[in-house]
Amino acid sequence: MSLRDQHASTAHDGRDKVAKTLALVTGAVFLLVGVAGFIPGITTDYDTMKFAGHESRAELLGIFQVSILHNIVHLLFGIAGLALARKATTAIAYLVGGGIVYFVLWIYGLVIDHDHDANFVPLNDADNWLHLILAVAMVGMGLAAQRALRGDVGSQTPM
C-alpha cells in the first residue's frame, strides 16, 4: 500500500480524529488562557502588568505570573493549535513540538533566577511546574495520537 493510499485509508476510518481533536482542544485552551490573562479579576494585580519582564506582578488566577507578552504568546500558541489541527500530521507535530517547547521553558525557568533581567516572560514557580506538566502531557498526547493514527492502539500481541 502506498503512503498516499495509507493516508487516504487512515483519513476515512476516523483515526485522524484523535490527533485533530487533541490539538484543537489544546489550542482552544491556550487561546482561552491568553484571553483570560487580559481580564481583570481573572488576572490579579492587573494594574501591575508590564509588557515583558519579571517586574510584572499580575497573576492569572492569582497563581501564574503573566505579562502582556506572556498572554500574547498564549494567544499565538492557541491560534497555532487551531490552525494545525486541520491535518493529523500537523496536529501531532503541534502537540509533540509544543511539548518540547514547554520542556525547554521548564528548564529555562529552573535555571534563570526569577528576579533576573533574563526572566523576560515572566516565570514563577507555579509557571515552572505547569510547564513541566504541559511538556509531559503534550508529548504524551502527540505520541498517543500518532499511535492511534497508525492503528497501533489496542493491537499489541501477547507474548
Q: What is the pLDDT of residues 85-143, one digit of tens each?
A: 999 999 999 999 999 999 999 999 899 887 777 777 778 899 999 999 999 999 999 99
Long-range pairs for 96-101 at CB < 8 Å and ≥24 separation? 96/138, 96/139, 96/142, 96/143, 96/146, 98/26, 98/134, 98/138, 99/134, 99/135, 99/136, 99/137, 99/138, 99/139, 99/140, 99/141, 99/142, 100/135, 100/139
Read off the pLDDT of residues 52-63 as tens digits, 9 standing for 90 and up.
877 889 999 999
Confidence at residue 121, expressed as pLDDT on a 0 to 100 scale: 76
